[in-house]
Amino acid sequence: MIVVLERNITEQQLENVIKHLEDYGFAVHKSAGEEKMILGAIGVKPNFDTRQIKILDGVEEVYRITDPFKMASRSFKHDNTVIKINDIQIGANEVIVMAGPCSVESEEQIFTIAEIVKNAGAKILRGGAFKPRSSPYSFQGLGEAGLKLMRNAADQFGLLVITEVLENSKIDMIEKYTDIFQIGARNMQNYALLKDLGSVKKPVMLKRGLSATVEDWLMSAEYILSNGNPNVILCERGIRTFETYTRNTFDISAIPVVQKLSHLPVCADPSHATGLRDKVIPMARAAVAAGADSLMVEVHNDPEKALSDGPQALLPEQFKEMMAQVKLIAGVIGRTV
């Protein structure tokens, strides 16, 4: 339920409205827009008479939210959510690029790649220290040692860090090194993990599951939002279909669809979406044209020797070329990179 408040509502009236909602059993979340403040009253109350709230002083209107995802909905928050980390804003006019290797492999590797992506215009260093692999015999990451290397490389070149968290027990340790938590596709519906990430102070990027619908995806975001963390980024990384010529099927249409349904910023990951190096740049161009707020791209200085996902990692010169191309496309639609 959405409670729209009058512009001149007093603090006492606001507290009274919130108290009434809580007394009726609703969890209350405030959202301040450019023009009005609204309250999101979260709770399953199918027969609740909204007039009991509408008559309160300071209340302008009361609406029921019909979407199953409440806090992620445009109905709850009309203005776009902009996630601010230091001087970087995800969801604003600039398309933020996250780039780096699939996995942190060594000090030399991560420092080399960090310098490459920084010089080309990336703002966030990506890399995995704990890797969920289909085979238990594949490289699983360097663990905390990898996190330390990535943090040091990012700090040296003025980058932020995004890295994946696989399990609840690793949240506190990873939080010491990362600026953004990443939830991988396989964990999109790990609700216990999502709930715990609702309690952290740092943003969370939620990748779309392998076979998840848009509603499934937004409902997973709802777990994080409803547990207290408003800073969620949605990441389209391709879905599993019958097609075999690419690793996944990149659902470009999901970008404008989600942006109409939700206020949350949307990132696109053309590397995992296609799984093929020569398809990454065209799909990055398409994602920016479709309105993506961010790009996540894999880059490796020696992909033939990469310990994971070498075939989809761009070479340094290719990444520079991609950045030049997406800057031009962003300019056409009134954005920057």
β 27-32/37-42 pair status? antiparallel
Tokens of 149: 């290397």
Mean pLDDT taken over the chain: 92
What does CATH list as the number for 83-332? 3.20.20.70
Report the alpha-carbon distance of residue 284 to residue 295 in Å, rounded: 7
Q: Domain 2-63 falls in which CATH fold?
A: Alpha-Beta Plaits (3.30.70)
**Rama region for 299: left / alpha / beta (φ>0; ψ in -120 to 50; rest):** beta
282 in helix, strand or coil?
A: helix
Measured in whole angstroms, the distance separating CA 137 from the mean position of its chain's CA atoms is 29
For residues 35-64, average pLDDT: 84
Closest CA to 307 of 135, 123, 122: 135
Whether 336 and 94 have beta carbons less than 8 Å apart is answered as yes
- For 176-188, the pLDDT digits (tens) are 999 999 999 999 9
Q: How confident is the model at residue 137 (pLDDT cuts 50, 70, 90)?
A: low
- For 286-337, the pLDDT digits (tens) are 999 999 999 999 999 988 877 777 788 999 999 999 999 999 999 999 999 9
- Domain boundaries for CATH 3.20.20.70 within the chain: 83-332
How much is the pTM?
0.86
Whether 139 and 133 have beta carbons less than 8 Å apart is answered as yes
Q: Which long-range contacts (CB under 8 A, 24 or more apart) does 26-32 make?
A: 26/1, 27/226, 29/71, 29/76, 31/76, 31/77
- Domain boundaries for CATH 3.30.70.1140 within the chain: 2-63
Output the CA–CA distances (angstroms, integers) from residue 305 to 133, 254, 269, 322, in the order listed. 17, 34, 22, 22
Tell me which of 4-8, 34-38, 85-89, 111-115 is least confident. 34-38
